[in-house]
């Protein structure tokens, strides 16, 4: 799990690209900087070479938004809203959110047609939307347990003087499926084919039926991962003891969703251009609930 998370952080950090050192714009300055997590709301979030398509994306922003919404409705039978449109290399990345009948964040990539100016086509990274849908279905199936997890993480953060991501930051930058201020759900659709197919056939599938399908696809209840993330109130890492104590309390806590948990604590800053910390952390892995 740790290798997967660090790999994700490393790959996203590369998206920032290189910057012109002469006459930097306010956006470029924001992209290069870091922001305390309690103040980060998506400023400077960007993709490599986004400046080259910024004018084009701005011109067709409303059209891009609508095409992304249409793509999600047609391909995944899911209604979404657009939280952010971010210029990218020869494209735009649309950060979207589903609120009903399940909750999740994901993204759609929009590219302008080569032959028809002003026409945009949508696609998504392989498996990303499907994974987001499965994570939202897991939260729906075990809503009571996830509300218990919310209470646990909020209480743990307060008692240990730790912070989490702001709602605005999640909305503007997250494509990680079901995401809260202190955790997200990582669930490959390939591991839950029955769950995913049932949703495509019936978006209003009941929670009880979902529980049966999750149990069918994952009898042991340990395929699905729930990485938990906290941030120090200072720009330094706390002692490893903090992560160890959080992990021990998590092991003892009852009434939480089943899954493979990981507890990670970062310093008090976000790298603006990727909406993530730089990866330096203290952690405890492989906590099976």
**pLDDT score, position 27:** 63
Average pLDDT over residues 151-166: 97
Of 212, 155, 154, 150, nearest in space to 185 by CA: 150
**pLDDT score, position 43:** 95
Of 112, 117, 57, 106, nearest in space to 86 by CA: 57
Average pLDDT over residues 236-262: 96
| Helix, coil or strand: residue 207 | helix
Q: Bridge partners of 229?
A: 264
Burial pattern 185-206, b for ≥16 Cβ within 10 A else e, equals: bbbebeebeebbebbeeeeebe
pLDDT > 70: percent of the chain: 89
Give per-residue pLDDT as tens, 45-96.
999 999 999 999 999 999 999 999 999 999 999 999 999 999 999 999 999 9
Give per-residue pLDDT as tens, 2-55.
544 444 444 444 444 444 444 566 666 666 799 999 999 999 999 999 999 999
Give residue 220's pLDDT band: very low, low, confident or very high (50, 70, 90). Answer: confident
Q: Bridge partners of 91?
A: 88
Q: Is the pLDDT of residue 105 over 70?
A: yes
Q: Is the pLDDT of residue 164 over 90?
A: yes
Of 174, 171, 197, 188, nearest in space to 260 by CA: 188
Least confident of 83-87, 122-126, 218-222: 218-222
Contacts of 114 (CB under 8 A, 6+ apart): none
**pLDDT score, position 12:** 44
Contacts of 270 (CB under 8 A, 6+ apart): 34, 35, 36, 37, 40, 169, 276, 277
Length of the chain: 289
Q: Interhelix angle for 240-252 vs 143-159, to 10°?
A: 150
pTM: 0.88
- DSSP H or E stretch at residue 125: none
As a whole number, the mean pLDDT across the chain is 90
**CA–CA distance, 184 with 83 (Å, rounded to integer):** 18
**pLDDT score, position 197:** 97
Give per-residue pLDDT as tens, 173-215.
999 999 999 999 998 888 999 999 999 999 999 999 999 999 9
Give residue 1's pLDDT band: very low, low, confident or very high (50, 70, 90). Answer: low
**pLDDT score, position 13:** 42
**pLDDT score, position 29:** 64
């Amino acid at each position: 799990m740790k290798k997967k998370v660090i790999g994700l952080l490393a790959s996203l950090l590369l998206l920032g690209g290189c910057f012109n050192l002469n006459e930097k714009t306010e956006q470029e300055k924001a992209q290069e900087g870091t922001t305390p997590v309690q103040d980060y709301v998506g400023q400077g979030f960007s993709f490599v070479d986004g400046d080259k398509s910024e004018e084009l994306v701005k011109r067709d922003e409303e059209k891009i938004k609508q095409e992304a919404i249409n793509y999600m409705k047609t391909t995944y039978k899911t209604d979404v809203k657009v939280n952010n449109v971010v210029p990218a290399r020869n494209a735009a990345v649309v950060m979207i959110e589903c609120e009903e009948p399940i909750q999740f964040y994901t993204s759609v990539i929009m590219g302008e047609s080569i032959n028809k100016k002003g026409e945009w086509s949508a696609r998504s990274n392989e498996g990303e939307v499907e994974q987001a849908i499965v994570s939202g279905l897991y939260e729906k199936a075990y809503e009571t347990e996830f509300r218990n997890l919310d209470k646990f993480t909020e209480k743990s953060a307060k008692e240990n003087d730790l912070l989490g991501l702001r709602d605005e930051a999640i909305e503007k930058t997250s494509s990680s499926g079901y995401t809260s201020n202190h955790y997200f759900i990582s669930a490959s659709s390939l591991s839950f084919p029955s769950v995913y197919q049932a949703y495509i056939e019936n978006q209003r599938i009941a929670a009880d039926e979902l529980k049966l399908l999750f149990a069918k696809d994952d009898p042991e209840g340990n395929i699905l991962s729930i990485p938990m993330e906290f941030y120090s109130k200072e720009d330094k890492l706390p002692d490893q003891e903090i992560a160890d104590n959080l992990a021990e309390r998590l092991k003892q806590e009852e009434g939480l969703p089943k899954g493979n948990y990981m507890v990670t604590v970062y310093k008090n800053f976000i790298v603006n251009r990727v909406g993530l910390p730089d990866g330096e952390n203290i952690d405890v892995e492989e906590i099976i609930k």
